[in-house]
């Protein structure tokens, strides 16, 4: 395991940064292309390990992937895989592929690495079984996930108790293959990328902000231009917000409402934010974001805002520790089932750097002192913790050492070099 040392200058910076292609959209573009018959193009897909996992799984099903090109016989022409399908560290690969595979006449088994093999998969079972699919998970609800072999799916109406885009997408990617119409509802705040694309392709309709109707039909071959990832941009937005006088511009970022809760949060901390929509990708907004540092105060995050900033909450802890006042995050119990238990790993990260943080059942409290101390952070094999610790180094007079630092490559290979280059 590599330990990396980060030491960032105490000065302001000004930069324009192009961040890697959006992870959520890259998974969806590759899977939708693979479900379509013919040749699709996925331009600007994320370069990280999770997207490599989706590519590997699709290739094992007979889909031809070569650079941006995806050629497929369509989902009905996928071949029975010769071995279990390894999703690596990627929960999105496992959950979306479980839905995409649910109507197959063959069975397929999805596994992951040690971290993914501990994550909850039972949440997939009721919505996919409602469609008539066969799906099995381990006794304790974790992977392996075995799907398929049920015969044709029927349309169904379902309601899911958690605001999970992955579960909704799994249902929707199965439901387009059913013999009749379907509907899904859940609490709000989730990223609705899949819904927007299905609606754009004429395969679905939004009934209320959370209720979505799926019409069966073939996803067409298409050209996808994947915008930058707001969950990656959030690291450089935070670096700008942390230092009065800093400014960062990130062009061509996904501005899906379920992705940009963090911008509202950093405004709450006192940063200046400008976001301008410049276009759409199949109905999903894309634009330019500029963040300027103006001093930091504590803030509270709860409800749908916590869902719409879920992957960015470790950064909220860093901002809270380096601001003035108390920061509270609630309604974020889902953090417990991410790549690590992110309530524990976030609190541990702040404490390892001498900050004051307390875990709550569904979130955390951080006491802002305006600075952190040099120290060594265990990434808990979680890319977002490793990267948040590197950002925290901006508030430390000295070194931050990050254990298992290369895990950042799951979403952003070259991240540390990019951060260090902001001041050059
Ligand atoms: C994702 C949805 C979210 C998010 C994950 C990616 C997606 O997970 O945390 O990083 O691409 O659909 P849940 O749907 O499990 O909340």
What secondary structure does DSSP assign to 304-351, as a single string?
A: HHHHTTGGGHHHHHHHHHHSEEEEEE-S-GGGGGSSS-HHHHHHHHHH
Alpha carbon of 36 to ligand 1 centroid (Å): 23
pLDDT of 11 reads 95
Residue with tokens 């992937």: 65
Listing DSSP states for 77-109 in one string gives GPPPPSS-EE-TT-HHHHHHHHHHTTT-SSEEE
The finding on whether 164 has its CB within 6 A of some atom of ligand 1 is yes
The protein residue with its alpha carbon nearest to ligand 1, atom 16, reads: 164
Measured between alpha carbons, how far is residue 317 from residues 73, 230, 402 in Å?
A: 46, 18, 17
The finding on whether 334 has its CB within 6 A of some atom of ligand 1 is yes
pLDDT of 268 reads 94
pLDDT of 162 reads 95
Q: How many CA atoms lie within 13 A of 177 on its CB side?
A: 28
Would residue 22 show up in a list of annotated catalytic residues for this protein?
A: no
- DSSP character at residue 20: P
Phi, psi of 114 (to 5 degrees): -60, -35
pLDDT of 312 reads 98
Contacts of 50 by beta carbon, 8 Å cutoff, 6+ apart: 23, 27, 88, 89, 90, 92, 93, 410, 411
Residue with tokens 């885009």: 165
Residue with tokens 């596994």: 111
Q: State pTM to two decimals.
A: 0.96
SS3 label, residue 361: coil
The finding on whether 26 has its CB within 6 A of some atom of ligand 1 is no
The finding on whether 165 has its CB within 6 A of some atom of ligand 1 is yes
Instruction: Tell me which residue of 128, 93, 83, 141 sits closest to 113, measured CA to CA.
Output: 93
Alpha carbon of 245 to ligand 1 centroid (Å): 33
The finding on whether 312 has its CB within 6 A of some atom of ligand 1 is no
pLDDT of 257 reads 95
Cβ burial of 370 (10 Å; 0-12, 13-18, 19+) is exposed
The finding on whether 411 has its CB within 6 A of some atom of ligand 1 is no
pLDDT tens, residue order, the chain (424 aa): 799 999 999 999 999 999 999 999 999 999 999 999 999 999 999 999 999 999 999 999 999 999 999 999 999 999 999 999 999 999 999 999 999 999 999 999 999 999 999 999 999 999 999 999 999 999 999 999 999 999 899 999 999 999 999 999 999 999 999 999 999 999 999 999 999 999 999 999 999 999 999 999 999 999 999 999 999 999 999 999 999 999 999 999 999 999 999 999 999 999 999 999 999 999 999 999 999 999 899 999 999 999 999 999 999 999 999 999 999 999 999 999 999 999 999 999 999 999 999 999 999 999 999 999 999 999 999 999 999 999 999 999 999 999 999 999 999 999 999 999 999 8
The finding on whether 172 has its CB within 6 A of some atom of ligand 1 is no
Alpha carbon of 12 to ligand 1 centroid (Å): 33
Mutation probe of ligand 1 site: the residue of 21, 22, 24, 163 with most atoms within 8 A of C-beta: 24
Mutation probe of ligand 1 site: the residue of 194, 310, 383 with most atoms within 8 A of C-beta: 310
Q: Is the distance from CB of 377 to CB of 401 less than 8 angstroms? A: yes
Q: Is the distance from CB of 240 to CB of 246 less than 8 angstroms? A: yes
The protein residue with its alpha carbon nearest to ligand 1, atom 9, reads: 311
Alpha carbon of 190 to ligand 1 centroid (Å): 8
Alpha carbon of 166 to ligand 1 centroid (Å): 5
pLDDT of 1 reads 74
Check whether the bond before 144 is cis (ω within 30° of 0).
yes
Which of the residues 284, 311, 348, 382 is marked catalytic? 311
Alpha carbon of 167 to ligand 1 centroid (Å): 9
Pairing of strands 356-360, 363-369: antiparallel
Q: Which two tokens stand for residue 7?
A: 């030491």
Contacts of 180 by beta carbon, 8 Å cutoff, 6+ apart: 154, 155, 216
The finding on whether 24 has its CB within 6 A of some atom of ligand 1 is yes
Q: How many CA atoms lie within 13 A of 183 on its CB side?
A: 9
Q: Rounded CA gap, 296 and 253, in Å? A: 24
pLDDT of 289 reads 98
Q: Rounded CA gap, 346 and 351, in Å? A: 9
Q: Which two tokens stand for residue 4?
A: 């990396």
């Amino acid at each position: 395991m590599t330990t990396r040392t980060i030491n960032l200058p105490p000065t302001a910076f000004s930069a324009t940064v192009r961040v890697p292609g959006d992870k959520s959209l890259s998974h969806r573009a590759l899977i939708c292309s693979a479900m379509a018959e013919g040749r699709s193009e996925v331009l600007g897909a994320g370069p990280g390990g999770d997207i490599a996992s989706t590519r590997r799984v699709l290739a094992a099903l007979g889909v031809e992937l070569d650079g941006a090109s995806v050629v497929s016989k369509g989902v009905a022409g996928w071949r029975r895989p010769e071995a279990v399908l390894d999703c690596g560290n990627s929960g999105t690969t496992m959950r979306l592929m479980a839905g995409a595979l649910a109507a197959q006449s063959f069975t397929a088994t999805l596994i992951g690495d040690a971290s993914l093999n501990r994550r909850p998969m039972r949440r997939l079972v009721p919505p996919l079984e409602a469609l008539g699919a066969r799906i099995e998970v381990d006794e304790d609800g974790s992977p392996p996930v075995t799907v398929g072999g049920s015969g044709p799916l029927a349309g169904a109406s379902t309601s899911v108790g958690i605001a999970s885009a992955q579960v909704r997408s799994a249902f929707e990617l199965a439901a387009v293959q059913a013999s009749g119409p379907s509907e899904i509802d859940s609490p709000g705040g989730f990223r609705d990328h899949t819904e927007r694309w299905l609606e754009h392709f004429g395969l679905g309709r939004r009934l209320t902000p959370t209720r979505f109707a799926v019409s069966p039909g073939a996803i067409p071959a298409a050209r996808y231009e994947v915008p930058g990832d707001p969950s990656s941009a959030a690291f450089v937005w935070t670096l700008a917000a942390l230092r009065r006088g800093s400014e960062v511009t990130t062009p061509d970022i996904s501005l899906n409402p379920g992705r940009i809760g963090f911008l509202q949060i950093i405004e709450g901390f006192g940063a200046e934010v400008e976001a301008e929509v410049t276009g759409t990708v199949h109905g999903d907004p894309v634009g330019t974001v500029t963040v300027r540092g103006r001093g930091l105060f504590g803030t509270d995050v709860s409800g749908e805002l916590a869902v719409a900033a879920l992957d960015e909450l470790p950064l909220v802890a860093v901002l809270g520790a380096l601001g003035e006042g108390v920061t509270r995050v609630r309604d974020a119990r889902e953090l417990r089932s991410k790549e690590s238990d992110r309530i524990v790993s976030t609190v541990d990260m702040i404490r390892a750097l001498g900050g004051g943080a307390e875990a709550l059942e569904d979130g955390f409290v951080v006491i802002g002192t305006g600075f952190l101390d040099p120290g060594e952070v265990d990434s808990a094999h979680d890319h977002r913790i490793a990267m948040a610790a590197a950002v925290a180094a901006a508030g430390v007079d000295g070194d931050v050492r990050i254990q298992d630092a290369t895990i950042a490559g799951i979403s952003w290979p070259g991240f540390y070099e990019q951060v260090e280059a902001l001041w050059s």
